[in-house]
Amino acid sequence: MSELVRLQRRDEIALIIADNPPVNALGQALRQGLLQAFQAAEADSRVRAVVLVCEGSTFFAGADIKEFGKPPVAPSLPEVIDVIEGCSKPSVAVIHGTALGGGLEVALGCHYRIARADARVGLPEVKLGLLPGAGGTQRLPRLAGVAKALEMILGGAPVEAGEACEYHIVDELFEGDLTDAGLAYARRLLQEGRGVRRSGEQTRGLEGTDNAALIAARHAEVVKRSPGLFSPLRCIAAVEAATRLPLAEGLERERELFLECLNSPQRAALVHTFFAERQAAKIADLPVDTRPREIRTAAVIGGGAMGVGIALCFANAGVPVKLLEVGDEALQRALQRARDTYATSVKRGSLSEAAMVQRLALIEGITDYAALADVDLVVEAVFEDMAVKQQVFERLDAVCKPGAILASNTSSLDLNAIAAFTRHPEDVVGLHFFSPANVMRLLEVVRGARTSHEVLASAMAIGRKLKKVAVVVGVCDGFVGNRMLFQYGREAEFLLEEGATPQQVDAALRNFGMAMGPFAVRDLAGLDIGQAIRKRQRAILPAHLEFPTVADRLCAAGMLGQKTGVGYYRYEPGNRTPLENPELAPMLAAASREKGIERRELEERYIVERTIYSLVNEGAKILEEGIAQRSSDIDLIYLNGYGFPAWRGGPMFYADSVGLDKVLATIRELHARCGEWWKPAPLLEKLAAEGRTFSGWQPDRAG
Ligand code: 3H9
């Protein structure tokens, strides 16, 4: 027997115990152990039933994701589950924690399933660019029905044990000890003469509904909502096979479709993202014994859209939060904004009335800094102006208790200068939320030159508590996300001067997979915001660098985007659909003429390379400067804050998958033709010359 699986006999019951920390992932040794244990139970004539439990915090959390992309080693999970389901003695899976992916598939291979009341089960493979490839697409619809199976397989979110019970995925809930519950259930089975009951032989879930219509509807929805995604349509095809083929043939079809997904570049990108999220939490130079400070109460300074959004984040996480505005009128407006946001969620059905009341009770409006004396963390979210920040931080420094963490939500100002306004720069950190703060998952945690280890660890912990993807970044203009965005936006504008229209650029980048095109984003945010940043950039960047002029022309004409009804596009009142702005064409023509550019048709590929590679080149500089810890952190920032397509893995992973030599060759061409902005990053040149990737590079091994 494998070291990861133990087999014990308890009277006439075989107890199989799996133990593969941290999450009982079904790697090769565990699969081998399970196979042998079930075979041994089958062969032992004294055994009349089998109970399967897992040690540790969870039932099997799925296949071992680290094995994907490597040569397969037998036995495969489908082979193991075949043996489990084929066993002639009834088996019981005892689920606790999360039975996910291959883990739920193992449970579905068992003849009965019981779950601890707080357990959850799910098939999240789609999030990794896969489909459930060990029978999940065939067995789940047979038990839970096609509609529920498609919901779980396409959505990837786990369901609570109680719900799983309603849908016949689980037979019974229990509380208390896993082994006791499993053995008691197996004894009852034997007493009641209930024998083998194979999920694969059930048909209840497939009967009584128009499965073809359900499948067609989900198919149409996926085509509309997730164009470009590889695995969802294959998930549907596999479930469709379950509705018309016998189990064995359905499993074969599932296997074919699974292998297509496994070998797709999208799977590689999404698995990269899975590990990137877990890596981001690791900070190389943080001593392992660093203890985060406890954050029991928080405060937000500034009740604008950003400040209110941040306050909502705390309330959503159950943390009492004080929201400070300068006068009562502004405060009441801010509190009303909070109420309105929750009311919209209640109307949409995503929040209960009771939860809204509870969360609003956690938000206390204040106008007096003195009320901040007892809070553990303050997040400043006031106007982006150093003089205003100075006032705020000096006042915070005067009133907050020793050890309170003082955070700034600045998106581009120098955090070290802000920290210097206080007597405790070691307690100052940046918490850069993205708008709308209560929706966007990204949190840039800005580490100042003097931010203490403890404060950094606390900032990461609060990020986790707020359910954000928290990524550590260093201090520079724009940090990681906006510093790269500056390059991207500038190149998009240059494309307008070369001959493209906003429609063409936006469409090319949407086809690439970006959630929105750059000009639609600018119109949404307001062109005046970018104007302040452009002014500052011009003041600090070398004079020989050339800037595009279209945005400034629009600003000068009062065309600031959606808020004025016209920007790069025109908008009908109350409608966000972008229409052509007829006044733009002459502006573009003038911008080109003044620079002596003859406007020309631009290819989609050129548009994509010119914008996306500007992100890559700047990302390489950011990496080399140590502003980001690793390339996957940059990827996470773009995936979670800037609408970069998840299935491309982020800009740095995308560049790795294109090949850094090819990316560099294009950047060199652009450098020769478009000037100094395109000077290749030295790190990119070095890695391309050595045939390496950003993912494989680490600063300490850089040499
Ligand atoms: C599948 O099953 C395919 C089959 O249908 C078909 C096969 C033929 N493998 O998230 P955490 C690591 S696809 C390997 O921080 P939590 C993780 O990297 C799979 N490693 O803990 C981390 O390592 P480190 C379908 C895994 O408590 C450590 O465990 N299943 C796996 O916040 C702790 O993870 C899934 O997609 C894995 N499967 O959350 C489930 N899972 O410490 C993926 C975790 O070195 N897993 N690790 O950074 C999860 O959703 C969460 O990990 C879970 C625990 C909810 C289980």
Domains of the chain, each with CATH number or no CATH: 5-262 (3.90.226.10), 298-473 (3.40.50.720), 476-602 (1.10.1040.50), 604-703 (1.10.1040.50)
For the stretch 563-580, pLDDT in tens is 999 999 999 998 999 999
| Ligand 1 pocket, residues with Cβ under 6 angstroms | 22-23, 25, 58, 61-66, 77, 98, 100-102, 105, 124-125, 128, 130, 132-134, 136, 278
Pocket test residue of 54, 65, 131, 252 for ligand 1, highest count of atoms within 8 A of CB: 65
DSSP code of 294?
Answer: P
For the stretch 348-404, pLDDT in tens is 999 999 999 999 999 999 999 999 999 999 999 999 899 999 999 999 999 999 999
Q: How many CA atoms lie within 13 A of 662 on its CB side?
A: 7
Residue 702 pLDDT level (bands cut at 50, 70, 90):
very low
Residue 541 pLDDT level (bands cut at 50, 70, 90):
confident
Q: Which residues contact 635 (CB under 8 A, 6 or more apart)?
A: 272, 273, 276, 644, 649, 650, 651, 652, 653
Going by alpha carbons, the residue nearest to atom 21 of ligand 1 is 23
CA geometry: angle at 426 spanning 424 and 432, to 5°? 110
Pocket test residue of 4, 20, 23 for ligand 1, highest count of atoms within 8 A of CB: 23
Report the SS3 class of residue 93.
strand
ipTM tops the 0.95 cut: yes
Cα 162 to ligand 1 centroid, rounded to whole Å: 23
> Are the C-beta atoms of 228 and 647 separated by less than 8 Å?
yes
pLDDT at residue 318 tops 60: yes
pLDDT at residue 204 tops 80: yes
The pLDDT of residue 703: 41
Q: Which atom of ligand 1 is the closest one to the Cα of 102?
A: 2
Please give the structure tokens belonging to residue 261: 């997904």
Average pLDDT of span 660-684 = 97
Q: Which amino acid is at 409?
A: N
Going by alpha carbons, the residue nearest to atom 49 of ligand 1 is 61
Q: Which residues are catalytic?
A: 105, 125
Q: Please list the residues that pair with 92 across neighbouring strands.
A: 51, 112
Cα 262 to ligand 1 centroid, rounded to whole Å: 17
- Percent of the chain beyond pLDDT 90? 93
The pLDDT of residue 700: 65
**What is the rounded CA–CA span in Å between residue 480 and residue 627?**
7
Average pLDDT of span 109-128 = 98
Please give the structure tokens belonging to residue 271: 């698995």
Q: Which amino acid is at 513?
A: G
Q: Which atom of ligand 1 is the closest one to the Cα of 77?
A: 8
Q: Which atom of ligand 1 is the closest one to the Cα of 65?
A: 9
Average pLDDT of span 233-240 = 98
For the stretch 338-359, pLDDT in tens is 999 999 999 999 999 999 999 9
H/E element, 489: helix 481-498
Cα 60 to ligand 1 centroid, rounded to whole Å: 9
Report the SS3 class of residue 566.
strand
Helices 146-155 & 136-144 angle (0-180, nearest 10): 140
Report the SS3 class of residue 323.
strand
Q: Where are the beta strands (DSSP E) in 482-592?
A: 569-570, 579-580
pLDDT at residue 495 tops 90: yes
- Total-model pTM: 0.94
The pLDDT of residue 699: 79
Phi and psi at residue 346, to the nearest 5°? -65, -45
Q: Which atom of ligand 1 is the closest one to the Cα of 275?
A: 18
pLDDT at residue 537 tops 90: no
Report the SS3 class of residue 266.
helix
Q: How many CA atoms lie within 13 A of 418 on its CB side?
A: 32
Going by alpha carbons, the residue nearest to atom 4 of ligand 1 is 102
Q: Which amino acid is at 54?
A: C
Going by alpha carbons, the residue nearest to atom 22 of ligand 1 is 278
**Taking all residues of the chain, what is their mean pLDDT, rounded to a whole number?**
96
Nearest Cα residue to 487 out of 697, 681, 686, 692: 681
Cα 19 to ligand 1 centroid, rounded to whole Å: 15
DSSP code of 444?
Answer: E
Phi and psi at residue 142, to the nearest 5°? -65, -30
**What is the rounded CA–CA span in Å between residue 561 and residue 550?**
13
pLDDT at residue 701 tops 50: no
**Which long-range CB contacts under 8 A does 166-172 form with residues at least 24 apart?**
167/143, 168/143, 168/144, 168/204, 168/205, 169/104, 169/108, 169/113, 169/121, 169/140, 169/143, 169/144, 170/95, 170/113, 170/114, 170/115, 170/121, 171/112, 171/113, 171/114, 172/114, 172/115
**What is the rounded CA–CA span in Å between residue 100 and residue 118?**
14
**What is the rounded CA–CA span in Å between residue 99 and residue 107?**
8
Nearest Cα residue to 113 out of 176, 47, 63, 181: 181
Going by alpha carbons, the residue nearest to atom 47 of ligand 1 is 23
Q: Which atom of ligand 1 is the closest one to the Cα of 132?
A: 5
Average pLDDT of span 527-554 = 85
H/E element, 366: strand 363-366
For the stretch 325-337, pLDDT in tens is 999 999 999 999 9
Nearest Cα residue to 345 out of 332, 358, 333, 329: 358
Cα 63 to ligand 1 centroid, rounded to whole Å: 8
The pLDDT of residue 544: 82
Cα 479 to ligand 1 centroid, rounded to whole Å: 30
Q: Which amino acid is at 683?
A: L
Of 137-146, 282-291, 539-548, least confident by mean pLDDT is 539-548
Please give the structure tokens belonging to residue 283: 């900070």
